[in-house]
Chain A
Amino acid sequence: MTRRAVLQGGGAAMALPGIASAEAGAGPSRGLNRERDMSTVELTVNGDRVQLQLDPRTTLLDALREHMQLTGTKKGCDHGQCGACTVIVEGQRINSCLTLAVMHEGESVTTIEGLGTPEKLHPMQRAFVSHDGYQCGYCTPGQICSAVAVLAEIEAGIPSHATEDLEQVMLSDTELRERMSGNICRCAAYPNIIAAIRDVAAGEKA
């Protein structure tokens, strides 16, 4: 019995209406979620269709973590500044803390759990392990989701601030650093993160 299992066992209770999360409402009586104030939203998360009934104020991040117990995605700053909450929605990386779950009706979401598992690691996960691309691991799911999307963005020819010729996007460490600048790491695993991403990029070309 792990701590995580105990917390997840209590998760169903925690997601019930009537138990407001800390930031759901600051006013006294408006804080409780009532049936009639709830919204429904249907999402496809990591390939699974889910239907949620939630307070419209619920961010996609909180929907994933609190309503679906997908706690891989982390809440670092909750204000779109750290990137720890990065997930892939309809093929695009976004900060899940700065969007409402209800805004994504019918859309597909991929979290770190959907990229790979301990038994079947995504190549980016494998590269982060072999290059020691994390220390505390808190920013890591966001780093990995972001990195996977970055390689797709480069592949699609989307330029960045680091791109010399706007019409010709090329892979380089400078490009990777610039594109990953929205994912902060307090442990400063940055050099190894870049090495891991570079490794995967080279592998994809091979």
Chain B
Amino acid sequence: MIHIRPFEYEPTDEERERASNSYVMSLVAVMVGMPLPIVNLLATLAFYLAQRHSTRFIRWHCTQALLSQVSLLVMNSVGFIWTMRVIFDFQDVSNYYIAYMITIGLYNLGELIATIYSAIKVRDGVHIEWMLYGTLTNEILE
């Protein structure tokens, strides 16, 4: 799921810090206590745009962080809309709904753990590649 691979070069301390911050940005919504699915993505996107002319190490990790937020946005938005329909349209609280909310809860938790892990490791200069998002990042930055 998460692979440690050697990067093309040894990043400097400043690069490590900025690359690590890209993962920290995606924790902003959790830190400010806002459950809306778009906040994480906006914070990560803003940081990505600010770093898009930076070094390859920083750009790489900003891109990976951003891509992981996009998939969460999709999952969480579906959950948000479904919840609004349950509350305001009096849709049944079905087992499918409960199972979906638990599933996205697990994925959000998994992503949170992976993000914190990545933030710590990248700060130490370790190059972390996530399954799918790492591969996509390599494809985009080729």
Genuine A/B complex: no
A-side interface residues toward B, CB under 8 Å?
A: none
